[in-house]
Amino acid sequence: MGNELRYLFIDFEFTMPEKGKRSKGFYPEIIEAGIVSVANDRICDQFSSYVSPVRFPKLTERCKAFLHISQEQVDQGISFHELVNKMKEMSGNQSCSIITWGNMDMRVLRNNCQQAGLPFPFKGKEVDFSMEYKRFFGDQNQTGLWKAVQEYGKEGTGKHHRALDDAMTTYNIFRLVEKDKRYLERPEPTTIGDRVDFSKLLNKFA
């Protein structure tokens, strides 16, 4: 099938430093991954897992409270190496569009790959869909994912800040925007007034 019809919708949750503290050498690490694989407008695979951080294995209180992720969950998660292999597998090791809400996910993934000495797992176009959404609606500011969904009069899938739920919500809003784009590109149907010259018709009956 055409590669342009293959998409991976991805969301990650990351480690966070304690508020007001700057840990030496700290960088965000992926601790939860959610991926939805879509081909020809159909979901063909989903993946969700906690991931064990390496550089700062102990989660901060702020991180646990904000993301509702426990130390036990990440301790029992897969390794970052396993996550990279899984992502390569889900992309079919071919070019596909990687869709995220915001640009942070891919920036953190790239940095985590560098730190671990692993090659970046994706080939193909990376799309920050929050920017697409902003351009489409002519908004001044970028909108949060769940606020964007509510603007559409919909609800997000599952819980906010759960990686798979956010990836699925990104996919849902992508479908809504694509549908609207197609609708706007469609030529306006002619009205009965365009098809019938009413002045001639009225003269006839005058």
Kindly report, residue by residue over 130-173, the tens digit of the pLDDT.
998 888 877 666 678 878 877 776 665 656 678 999 999 999 98
Count of domains in the chain?
Answer: 1
pLDDT of residue 4: 47
Structure tokens at 162: 């759960």
Rounded average pLDDT over 22-33: 92
Query: In sequence order, which residues have a C-beta less than 8 Å from that of residue 148 and are 6 or more positions away?
Result: 130, 133, 173
Q: Is 185 a catalytic residue?
A: no
The pTM (predicted TM-score) of the whole model is 0.82
Share of the chain above pLDDT 90, in %: 57
- 62-103 pLDDT, tens digit each: 999 999 999 999 999 999 999 999 999 999 878 899 999 999
More confident residue, 96 or 3: 96
The Cα–Cα gap between 1 and 95 comes to 12
Mean pLDDT on 41-64: 95
C-alpha 125, offset from chain centre: 13
pLDDT in the model for residue 126: 95
CATH number, residue 102: 3.30.420.10
Q: Is 29 a catalytic residue?
A: no
**Computed from CA positions of residues 109, 115, 116, 122, in that sequence, does the dihedral angle turn out positive or negative?**
positive
Name the residue range of residue 71's domain.
3-205
The residue from 4, 82, 132, 161 that is catalytic is: 161
Can you give the three-state secondary structure of the chain, one letter per residue?
A: CCHHHEEEEEEEEECCCCCCCCCCCCCCCEEEEEEEEEECCEEEEEEEEEECCCCCCCCCHHHHHHHCCCHHHHHCCECHHHHHHHHHHHCCCCECEEEECCCHHHHHHHHHHHHHCCCCCCECCEEEHHHHHHHHHCCCCCCCHHHHHHHCCCCCCCCCCCHHHHHHHHHHHHHHHHHHHHHHHCCCCCCHHHHCCHHHHHHHHC
Which residues sit opposite 95 in a β-bridge? 123
